[in-house]
Amino acid sequence: MKTVDDMITGYRRFRSGVYAEQVELYRQLGEGQDPDIMLIGCADSRAEPSDIFNAAPGQMFVVRNVANLVPPYQPNGGLHGVSAALEFAVNILKVKIIVVMGHGGCGGISASLTKNDSPLIGEFVAPWVKLLDEARERVLATQPVNPQFALELEGIETSIQNLMTFPFVREKVEAGTLEIHGAWFAIKHGELHWRNPRSQRFEIVAP
């Protein structure tokens, strides 16, 4: 897909294909949404959550940003897109599961590792990936062989920890009405690694 014409052609295929096959579902969704799962993923074009999980429209409330990051709870009057989406998902949609999903070859992770000496770092990317500073220093001190992969996993841990700083998230987790999970997708091999909540280790999901 290279041009606007390609997008319009794609829409027409969607309209005559997927939409036509699921027209009743789309009519129901036009009345509202009721997903049980919120997925926080990376904006990377290669890691499409609906494709990876074979999810139908309306089944996942998806938020995507650079490096699938969740900032800590900061009620300071600023513009907080991820926090607003989280609040809406937990308090209004009342999702039961939140999944933070990273992926291989993440540009946001690369930007964090190269600090300010990279074309990946820009006016807005630099302060955003500073959320990974502590994780990056920890990784560089312990994982010199493959820091990219290690920080992709540590970034997921950082977001999970930050999720728990939101009072409305912590309250529901402690009450047992909300689960938080982590996942990592290997684009090249199509492998999904799921975070074991007990061991906090990522394990390959059998295909």
Residues of each annotated binding site for Zn(2+): 42, 44, 103, 106
Contacts of 104 (CB under 8 A, 6+ apart): 149, 152, 184, 185, 186, 187, 188
Task: Extract the annotated binding site.
Answer: 42, 44, 103, 106
Q: For residue 65, what are the β-bridge partners?
A: 42
Contact in structure between 101 and 91 (CB atoms under 8 Å): no
Of 93, 95, 80, 105, the residue nearest 162 (C-alpha):
80
**Crossing angle (nearest 10°) for helices 133-142 and 107-114:** 80
Cα 137 from Cα 147, distance rounded (Å): 10
